[in-house]
Amino acid sequence: MANDTTSERLWSFTTATGGDIKATGTEVIIRKIVFTPGAVDDDVVIQEYGSDGAARSAMVLRANHTDVNLVSLDFGRSGRRLNGFNLSVIDGGTLYVYLGKN
């Protein structure tokens, strides 16, 4: 499955983006991220941009060392606001990013 960022509500990724999905200065509100790892110790790193313009880790998920159960972060109704969006690492599996305030 290829990366899909065409929806304004749900993005899905199987490979690192190799660059920005949303550039610095563009607000991205994430309500929830769900990672279905492909193997033990798979991880995901989502980056945003700091006030100095440098990319920094904003969200990190890692599969358990002994199993490949689903891993998720839920930011509730308000979501978490990021400055830009870059998926810098995904070792394996699929990442689902649920977007928006409602």
Separation CA 24–CA 83 (nearest Å): 6
What domains appear along the chain, each with residue ranges and CATH number?
10-99 (2.60.120)
Record the pTM.
0.93
From first to last of its 102 residues, the chain has per-residue pLDDT tens of 789 999 999 999 999 988 889 999 999 999 999 999 999 999 999 999 999 999 999 999 999 999 889 999 999 989 999 999 999 999 999 999 999 977
End-to-end CA distance of the chain: 27
